[in-house]
A and B are shown apart, each in its own frame.
Chain A
């Protein structure tokens, strides 16, 4: 990725959001997963909101570009926030 920097593990990701909380995507730290996420509109700079969690806390739904995506926690973890 063009603007991929070596991210530290401690950086905040979508996984750390609380329900209803939003953040701005800074980068995606997993190249393979990134392709799918990018196609679905999770581009750096976009705002992402944690919408809900499944009964056992995983997967979660997020709202990005006005539509809802569902993804697993370990996938949400690859979306890093500013």
Chain B
């Protein structure tokens, strides 16, 4: 049989255990408890990788089936059928259909929601016809029971021809039985659920012959999906296109007919298996809750209140661990610098460790934000939010599902851009990815804080509304508005290649599974550290070199100049050091860069010093504050109010304060819009698989920033 897979020899060699490790794939409808089952089977023994060539997360884990036997479990994206509708789902066909792949599973565990068996069996019957050895994990037996759904397991097992395990993955019921079962040698079912129609036979036979397949249904899938099968060569695809043309194969109609035929067959099977005894109570409860939570007034009010609470939590709670990380990094650097010295030590402390600190500092905010998003998704509330927002978002060329990436963008654009994968439609997804970095991410906060403190007085209105807070909120609003209006612009510019649709299951409300929430937090933080982190650290090191070295003997001369000036002014040792650092930065490569771009940024009100900060904040925006401190010889470990005092005393050529409101607001606007984040560019490149999108973002956002900052400076001064 073409589809049953023997344990692969090379794979077995890699494993130090004496038993070959079986590959088991988990597959099932969305909301069928697949993730819970995966977590139950693997515990914390899981890792997230990528499926080759695509950007879909591949979750794998090791499960100890019996004391002697382990198995590798692969969690496949949730899907309703083997005809993929989204990018994520295509992974399934890549994994299952390539006869040469070493990644193919030996066995699939099909999860099915017992309270909703009919639709869940569609995918199972397709897998069965591929003759892949399978087990049916009949999940959510408790929900089925409370809904009065009685399932005759014996009869179902006989009719399907595979073992059926009733279970409740959330509570871990049935896991032991499932483990024992899959540790045994299992064969594919012999029951057939769908016969290839007679008129397609000649075509199927030719495909079987060319690709040496023995399974009719697999050959039929090749015909339906050859364009997306990554393992077929161009030559194969041309051959296939010609064959289908000659046979007048109409994929859409055949798929529809197949689905209808399968449902007819499933109905026959379920006639003897499922009995419904009473009406559903839970759904009524969900419906009642929906009347409030998706109400035209209360619905939006509740959502706004929730968002407000989430942001409060993100900023209030995260500040404690963030301070700890900040202090920890500073202490570590201090310790190293006290005991060692030399250029390599400087590279380590000011380049590598400072860069690492810049990465770690964002973890608390990312973790807290994703904790909330995971809880909202787990309870089923997020589906209601996309439902409520869809019509509004559509007007701007977005999609109800764009809400999650846009909200996530407030923490960090990197995981936010990745969360846009759930949007099936290409155009909606591209627009969402394009505009997400305009949302004010947490890296902009340090910049906002310093500049606002500089020019906005700390006045209170009505006793609690802080003017500085209002300005900060205004910047967030500005980010959001620029995002949706940019989306509108793109909606007009982009030609849609496929239709947008919004057909999705509306889950019933339920308690979040805390284990899943925990794993989401862990995975998102890890993604951020690995994806954004490595770029931030790398760029930090490069920038450190640019700021620490200058052409020729310019550094020595800068030092001499600073020492001479310090003597004249009678400065203390620390102030002298700060002055030296400032002069050295001026004569460094970064300083030269700042001076070179000064003519270009002068219309925005900036001088070469700010030019240096614009360059260094390309790694991550918050580096702005550190650079500014260094340039104005403030010294590294000063707090916001020291920086503020120092910046306020900075004078321009005529002796007036340099940081006028016009300059500060021009900078604020620049930082709100400019694409100063290499990590985001890298992730957009990865997610869109082209340089077009990140480059367009860079040009568009930086252009928008330049024009807006120019307008602000010219109007205000």
Contacts and interface: CB of A to CB of B under 8 A. Distances in A.
B294 A43 contact: no
A57 B391 CA distance: 9
B122 A39 contact: yes
B80 A56 contact: no
Interface in B285-330: 286-287, 290-291, 294-296, 299-300
A1 B506 contact: no
A15 to B, nearest CB: 14
B205 interface: no
A51 interface: yes
B259 A35 contact: yes
Interface stretch (B168-176, B250-258, B413-421, B690-698): B250-258
Contacts of B296: 55-56
Interface string A11-37: 000000000000000001001111111
A41 B259 CA distance: 9
Which has the most chain A C-beta neighbours within 10 Å: B80, B283, B299, B503?
Answer: B503
Contact of B391 (A32, A40, A56): A56
Contacts of A72: 390, 501-502
Given A39-B80, A65-B118, A55 B506 contact: no
A40 to B, nearest CB: 6
B595 to A, nearest CB: 55
B654 to A, nearest CB: 56
Contact of A44 (B260, B294, B299, B501): B260
A1 B390 CA distance: 30
Contact of A40 (B119, B260, B291): B119
Contacts of A1: 253, 256-257, 260
A71 B81 CA distance: 19
* Contact-residue size bin, chain B (C-beta under 8 Å from the other chain): 35 or more
A56 B260 CA distance: 33
B257 A33 contact: no
Contact of A56 (B83, B116, B392): B392
Interface string B475-507: 000000000000000000000000101111110
Interface string A39-70: 11101100000011011111101000111111
A71 B503 contact: yes
B85 interface: yes
Nearest to A41: B119
Contacts of A56: 296, 391-392
B391 A59 contact: yes
Nearest to A63: B283
A78 B256 CA distance: 14
Given A31-B252, A41-B118, A65-B119, A58 B391 contact: yes
A31 B251 CA distance: 10
B388 interface: yes
Contacts of A28: 256
Contacts of B116: 65-67
Contacts of A37: 503
Interface in B381-397: 383, 387-388, 390-392
Nearest to B392: A56
* Contact-residue size bin, chain A (C-beta under 8 Å from the other chain): 20 to 34
A21 to B, nearest CB: 15
Majority-rule SS of A interface residues = mixed
A81 to B, nearest CB: 17
Contact of B387 (A44, A59, A65): A59
B294 A54 contact: yes
Contact of A55 (B255, B294, B503): B294
Interface string B373-384: 000000000010
Given A40-B80, A72-B501, A75-B503, A2 B257 contact: yes
A31 B503 contact: no
B280 interface: yes
Contact of A59 (B80, B260, B502): B502
A69 B257 contact: no
B263 interface: yes
B451 to A, nearest CB: 38
A35 B502 contact: no
Which has the most chain B C-beta neighbours within 10 Å: A34, A39, A61?
Answer: A39
Given A52-B287, A52-B290, A67-B119, A36 B391 contact: no
A48 B508 CA distance: 18
Nearest to B82: A39
A1 to B, nearest CB: 5
Given A41-B119, A72-B502, A35 B256 contact: yes
Contacts of A34: 252, 256
A70 B295 contact: no
Contacts of B290: 52, 61
Contact of B504 (A2, A55, A69): A69
A51 B434 CA distance: 35
Nearest to B118: A65
Contacts of B505: 40, 67-70
B255 A43 contact: no
A68 B392 CA distance: 22
Contacts of B499: 32-33
Contact of A69 (B256, B287, B506, B508): B506
A2 B262 CA distance: 13
B387 A54 contact: yes
A71 B508 CA distance: 16
A36 to B, nearest CB: 5
Nearest to B79: A39
Nearest to A42: B503
A55 B300 contact: yes
Contacts of B387: 54, 59, 61, 70
A70 B81 contact: no
B252 A35 contact: yes
Nearest to A60: B387
B675 to A, nearest CB: 33
A55 B291 CA distance: 10
A35 B390 contact: no
Given A43-B263, A68-B506, A55 B299 contact: yes
Nearest to B250: A31
B390 A54 contact: yes
A42 B95 CA distance: 28
A54 to B, nearest CB: 5
Contacts of A66: 115-116, 280, 283
Contacts of A55: 294-296, 299-300, 388
A62 B636 CA distance: 60
B294 A32 contact: no
B502 A32 contact: no
A44 B267 CA distance: 13
A68 B504 CA distance: 9
15 contacts: A31-B253, A32-B252, A34-B256, A39-B119, A44-B260, A52-B290, A54-B387, A55-B296, A57-B391, A61-B290, A66-B115, A66-B116, A67-B116, A68-B505, A70-B504
Given A32-B252, A54-B391, 4 more contacts: A35-B83, A39-B259, A40-B80, A70-B502
The 9 A-B pairs with the shortest beta carbon distances in the complex, nearest first, are A55-B296, A68-B506, A38-B259, A39-B80, A41-B119, A56-B391, A71-B503, A72-B502, A31-B252
